[in-house]
Every structure is written in C-alpha cells, then in structure tokens.
Chain A
Amino acid sequence: MSNLTAWERISLVHQKDRPTVRDYIPMIFDSFIEMHGDRSFGDDPAIVGGIAYFKGRPVTVIGQVKGRNLEENKASNFAMPHPEGYRKALRLMKQAEKFHRPVICFIDTPGAFCGIGAEERGQGEAIARNLFELMRLQTNVISIVLGEGGSGGALALGVCDELAMLENAVYSIISPRGFASILWKDASREQEAANRSRITAEDLIELGVAEKMIPEAPGGAHLGPEETAQNISAYLEDALQRFRDVPVETLLEGRYHKFRKIGEFSEGPESGL
C-alpha cells in the first residue's frame, strides 16, 4: 500500500511519464477498435472509446485521454472533455447495453472543460444526462480512476457497479488549490487542502465512494507500466466475473444503492414519511 500523502500522490500522478489510457489499452485489451463522434456535433479527442476483447470477451472501453507531452496534451485538450465527449461516451455506453457487453471506464481528468463552446453546447446537461443514463444502463459498468478524478467531469464516467482506484490515484470535488482558495481564501494552502480533503483511495473506500484499490508497480505506475497493467487486468478479470451472472434488476438495484447510501445527516423526531 502507498504510504505517500495525498499531496505526494498528486505530484506523482502528474508526472509526465505516468501511463495514460492510451498506454494501457493495448496492454490490457486485444483488437481494440476505436469509435469516433457523438453523432450530433463532433468528435472529442479528450475521450477515447471503442470495442475490444478482454480475455476473449467483447467489452466497451471508454476513457479520458491525457497526453505524455505538450503536443499530445494539446491534441487531447489535457483530458478535459467537452459536452460532445460525454455524449460520445454515452452513445458507446448505450451501444454496449444493446449488445450486452460490459462497459469499462477509465477516469483520468482534471475536470470537464470550462469554456464558451462547452457552455453553449450544454456541459451541465451532458454530464447530467450521463449520470441519469448510467444509473439505468442495463449492463455491467466498472470504472477505474487511473490518475486524477476531477469532480463532475470524472463522475460522468463514474456511475458504475464498482469503482476501483489505482493505488496513487486521487478523486476530488475540486483541485486542492481551488479548495484552499474558496474555503480558506488562501490558494497557497493547497498542500494542506490536499491532505485534509480526503481524496485518496483509502479515504474514498472508507467513505463508501470507491470499492477497490489496484496496486501500482513499486514506486508508482510510471516505474512499471506493464506490471500496473497486469494488476488492472487481474482486477478486471475478477470484477467482470463477479458481475457476469448477476441479473440486470439486481445489478441496477445495487448500483442505485451504491450511491443512495452516500450522505451524512441527522434527523429530528418530526421527520420521516
């Protein structure tokens, strides 16, 4: 288990040579065929999606695309999707539902893109629609946070039957800098914000947000991409097997309650139905 602090993990997942979804896909899947476009506006390079074999079984694979250098990052908008990216993802999820294959989502984004075009094309609606449709998608959905899960832009690929996180991955509502500047009016306290906002795999398993942690190669995924890919693969084999024969109604009931239970509140004597 990682003994790094949340802040140390953030700098680790931001390392340039950290493997991305494009590195992992060929290491984990066979015959990946990429699909493009949302059939409405365009194709968003910040999200990759397609069909592949996993241990001989067809699966739909969707993920946010980080680059490993500036050029790649520019091409994929630093993994910050536009609405058409989420709509492409949804289209592929519905396709998976139709053909009864599992959906595997790889989350790795600083967040949904904030810009004029994104607002004009309904970023809020696109994310909301994915949450709504994923909640009722009649096929198994597994999500894995590879590096960083940034807020609603990550959650749009994170409504699933089981959420796993790589050992050093983080998943948060806002960047530590944003957290510190909004809540403490002091962006320089970002390190403290990271360590106190409960964003690591261990924290999130405890909070009921995530279910599993996948070990990385010693020292981090960048020091052993193959080994890390093998661990992801082993996790997926186990997870897909566990959900394989679960009836759809049970699957959806379980997914609903995975999210339904999240929240901490007290109630007075007058409340209740």
Chain B
Amino acid sequence: MLEDLFQKVKARMGSEEPQQGFSKMSVPSDLLFKCPRCQQVTFMDTFRENQMVCPNCQYHGRMTVAERLKITVDNGTFHEYDRDMRSKNPIGFDGYERKLEALSKSTGLTEAVVTGEAEIMGEKCVIGIMDSHFMMASMGSVVGEKITRAFERATAQRLPIILFTASGGARMQEGMVSLLQMAKTSGAAARHSDSGLLYITVLTDPTTGGVTASFASLGDIIIAEPKALIGFAGRRVIEDTIRQRLPDTFQSAEFLEEHGFADMICDRSHMRETLSTLLRMHREDSETEETV
C-alpha cells in the first residue's frame, strides 16, 4: 500500500530534471525516500537532514561526491587532482563515448571517482571518493589511473590515503583494459604500503566486483557504513547458482564484519571524527600521544 502511494508521488514528481552538479538520486525531485533495506518511507527532507541515513533502519544511503566531501573534509581544504581526465574507448565499444558524454552532463562529473588532497579536522591526507551515480562507479581506465596516481602522489608526499569506495565492478565497455586496473591499483597500493604509509578504506553502498577484489579490500584499516552492500559476486548470480533466495543480510556491512573482513562499522555522524583520530594516530611527526 505504501508502495502504491510512493509510486504515485514518484510518477507525479518524477519528470523534474536534475540540477547541474548533482545527480538524480540526491536531488529532491521526490518528496519521499523509500529505504531499499527496510522499505520504510520517509520525507526526503528528513532523510537528507539525517545525512542520507534512513531514520528507521540506519541504512546509509548513496551520496554524491559533493555531498561526501561536504560532510568529510575541512571546508576549503580540498584540492582536486586530474579533474579533466576522461576515458577513451580502448576496445572500440559502440556508443561508449556518447554514454560517457550524457552521464557527464547529467551528473556534473567527468568520471566515477574524484581524487585530491584535503584536511580532515586538520589532518592532511589524500582522498578519493567514488560516485555510484556515474555508471555505477564501474572501474575503467580513468578510475584506475586516478586511484593509481592518488596512491603515487600520497607515496611521494608521504601522506596517508583514504578511499571511499562504491562500485558495481569492472567497466565492461573497456574489456580487459578495465580488468587490469585491478592489478594496477593494487600495485600502487602495495608501493604506498611498503613506504610505511597508512591506507584507510571506507566501504559504502554498493562496493562489489573488481573493486572489492582489488584496492577496496587492501586498506590497513577497513571501515564499512551500516547496511552497505559489499561483496564480490552479484547476488543474482549466486542465487541462480544455488537456486534459492539469499537473506537480506547477505553481503551487508554487518555480514562482512561478522566474517572478519571489516575492522568496524562506523556511522556517518562519527566518520569524520573516527578518520581524523586514526590519521592523528599515524602521524609521522608525532611520537607521543597528543591531547585532543
């Protein structure tokens, strides 16, 4: 019944065009937000005021890069790297350029990840944020290259790196070139690690496929957001194999923590503080404990 109501509202409001620089999901084009986890419907304003967390079940919703930056880094400290990097069409897939162009217009992004330097409560770091509104943040040449460069810059400048991951996996349109980005980014992560530097991954909804099977799983510290979908294989693929429905908790952040693949689950409201504390604990110039 609620769903019917939601559909009607959505149908009425659905034609509104997204504003520039923001993605469809986060623009208040709908009055109501229906939680994909608990199915509860709330006012979109309430959901947004709550940092896009479902007030009923604490599902942490998907954010745009702009929204994530706003709640994570110190105001005015973010300097973006490689802003104009755009993908080519390595295997000559029909319509790929057109699709990228259209997405670029509708999301205001040039690709599925934004990288740069910033401060979090005064702690300097390299940061990368993936945005699932851009082709489900699949990893192609640009995502791979930007993440790799972010690691390389962090290594050269002896800075810690924090990556907020979200991804549907590999960018099929780039074929094997996409697959090898997994090795490339993992190699850059290894060099950063060998230099004794800190790498934190924050797994957000959804982190899957080739990103899970590369840099997302390689953090010294792995943090997950509540109720985020995190896994390797697609849920439907597994369901088809075993011929039964999987429980809703399968491949959730909580599932990951229970099985020992995440250090902690952290609420969005505590993320900034948690990250800055961890950064401070790993600061190279401070041997002794500092008072906060």
Contacts and interface: CB of A to CB of B under 8 A. Distances in A.
A131 B181 CA distance: 11
Chain B's interface: helix, strand, loop or mixed, by majority?
helix
B87 A128 contact: no
A122 B261 contact: yes
A73 B89 CA distance: 38
A115 B181 contact: no
Interface stretch (A17-25, A92-100, A242-250, A263-271): A263-271
A201 to B, nearest CB: 12
A33 interface: no
Interface string B83-97: 111111111010000
Given A128-B216, A151-B170, A173-B170, A123 B176 contact: no
Contacts of A123: 213, 232-233
B142 A265 contact: yes
Contacts of A107: none
B114 to A, nearest CB: 13
Interface in A63-122: 112, 114-116, 118-122
A174 B178 CA distance: 11
B125 interface: no
Interface residues of B, number: 65
Contacts, number: 197
Interface residues of A, number: 56
Interface string A183-201: 1000000000000111100
Contact of A197 (B85, B91, B184): B91
A128 B233 contact: no
Interface stretch (B28-36, B237-245, B273-281): B237-245
B141 A152 contact: no
A4 interface: no
B89 to A, nearest CB: 7
B187 interface: yes
Interface stretch (B41-49, B60-68, B101-109, B189-197): B189-197
B84 A270 contact: yes
29 contacts: A115-B233, A123-B213, A124-B232, A125-B212, A127-B182, A127-B214, A127-B232, A128-B186, A128-B216, A128-B217, A128-B218, A151-B170, A151-B210, A152-B182, A156-B213, A159-B183, A173-B179, A197-B91, A207-B175, A207-B177, A262-B177, A262-B181, A263-B181, A264-B89, A265-B85, A269-B84, A271-B81, A271-B85, A272-B82
